[in-house]
Amino acid sequence: MTIRVATTADAQYADQLCQWYIDSAKQRGTGIAKREPAYVAHKMASGDSVIAFVDDQLAGFCYIETFDDKTFVVNSGLVVNAEIRKHGVGRAIKQAVFELSRSKYPNAKIFGITTSLAVMKINTELGYKPVTFSELTSSEDFWKGCKSCKNYGILTENERRMCLCTGMLFDGSAPLVQLQVPDFSAGTHDPQLVSPDSAS
Ligand SMILES: CC(C)(COP(=O)(O)OP(=O)(O)OC[C@H]1O[C@@H](n2cnc3c(N)ncnc32)[C@H](O)[C@@H]1OP(=O)(O)O)[C@@H](O)C(=O)NCCC(=O)NCCS
């Protein structure tokens, strides 16, 4: 597996990634913020995203957003190819985007809101703590991202104090943690991309 900071040339994958966002939202039956390919391409061009490949095929992605004058950072839009989930790719991407966030925005608080158990596990390993929404950014730009979520009504009914997502926050002053991910560089731990026909 190769994981690297995405570049302008990776814009060719933006449509595919946005389709994965739609597919996974349908599959989970929960809310997930919709993303436009142009926005994903913009994140790639600005050096604020991480992209992964297995066997030279797109394997996953995650990007950084900043709020409140870059004092709050979110690692958003984590997605892994559905064929190779549960092999550590999501954890490896999250570690990479977290490190990129820490190096680009060393003093920022890093946070996220999620209903995903996998993301909660990874965030906890990285040192995030669960918090109420009062500890997160109050930036309109962040919360407007929830508008396309099917639970947006619940969020607004509660005046943005709570919703179905759990808020998680990494305090920028905490030490960095190295997660235990398979040694992909050895080549023996790469998840294999298989066509649905050949999968057992
Ligand atoms: C969430 C997602 C990125 C995880 O990627 P992944 O490559 O499967 O994750 P990993 O293999 O690194 O797993 C990390 C941990 O989460 C667990 N996990 C993964 N998927 C899980 C699931 N659906 N339910 C419960 N736990 C899960 C893994 O078992 C692992 O924990 P463990 O080491 O204790 O066993 C992937 O499922 C995905 O793309 N989902 C659709 C998009 C999405 O939901 N994004 C998050 C929005 S906040």
Closest residue by Cα to atom 30, ligand 1, is 118
Q: Give the position, in ligand 1's atom list, of the atom nearest the Cα of 28.
A: 44
Ligand 1 touching residue 91 (CB < 6 A): yes
Q: Is the CB of 122 under 6 A from ligand 1?
A: yes
Buried b (16+ CB within 10 A) or exposed e, 184-198: beeeeebbeeeeeee
The pair phi, psi for residue 48, each rounded to 5°, is -110, 35
Q: Give the per-residue pLDDT at 188.
A: 63
Q: What is the CATH number of the domain that holds 18?
A: 3.40.630.30
In the chain, the number of structural domains is 1
pLDDT of res. 200: 40
Q: Is residue 193 in some structural domain?
A: no
Question: According to the model, what pLDDT value does residue 179 have?
Answer: 75
What does the pLDDT read at residue 26? 83
Residue 196: inside a domain: no
199 in any annotated domain:
no
Residue 61 lies inside a defined structural domain of this protein: yes
Atom index in ligand 1 nearest the CA of residue 78 equals 45
Residue 199 reports pLDDT greater than 50: no
Distance 77 CA to ligand 1 centre (A): 13
Question: Are the C-beta atoms of residues 78 and 122 closer than 8 Å to each other?
Answer: no
Interstrand relation of 2-5 and 109-114 (parallel, antiparallel or unpaired):
unpaired
Atom of ligand 1 nearest to the CA of 165: 48
Of the candidates 65, 63, 77, the residue with the CA atom closest to the CA atom of residue 137: 65
Residue 122 falls inside a structural domain: yes
Distance 69 CA to ligand 1 centre (A): 31
pLDDT recorded at residue 186: 66
Rounded to the nearest 5 degrees, what angle is found at the Cα of 44, between the Cα atoms of 40 and 47?
140
200 vs 23, more confident: 23
The residue nearest atom 16 of ligand 1, judged by CA position, is 118
Residue 72 structural domain: 2-177
Whether 39 is in a domain gets the answer yes
The answer as to whether 29 is a domain residue is yes
Q: Is residue 95 part of a domain?
A: yes
pLDDT digits 0-9 by tens, 64-91: 999 999 999 999 999 999 999 999 999 9
Give per-residue pLDDT as tens, 152-176. 999 999 999 999 999 999 987 766 6
Note the pLDDT tens digit of each residue in 86-116.
999 999 999 999 999 999 999 999 999 998 9
- What's the pLDDT score for residue 109? 96
Asked whether 77 lines ligand 1 (CB < 6 A), one says no
The SS3 assignment for 89 reads helix
pTM of the shown model:
0.88
Q: Verify whether ligand 1 is closer than 6 Å to residue 94 (CB atom).
A: no
pLDDT of 33: 60
Q: Using a 6 Å cutoff on CB, does residue 90 contact ligand 1?
A: yes
pLDDT in tens, 23-60: 988 887 765 566 899 999 999 999 999 999 999 999 99
CA of 5 to the centre of ligand 1 (A): 21
Distance CA(84)–CA(194), nearest Å, equals 9
Average pLDDT, the chain: 90
DSSP string, 129-164: EEE-GGGS---HHHHGGGTTSTTHHHHHHTTTS--S
CB 88 near ligand 1, within 6 Å: yes
Is pLDDT of 148 > 90? no
What residues pair up with 112 in beta bridges, in sequence order? 168
Calculate what percentage of the chain has a pLDDT beyond 70: 88
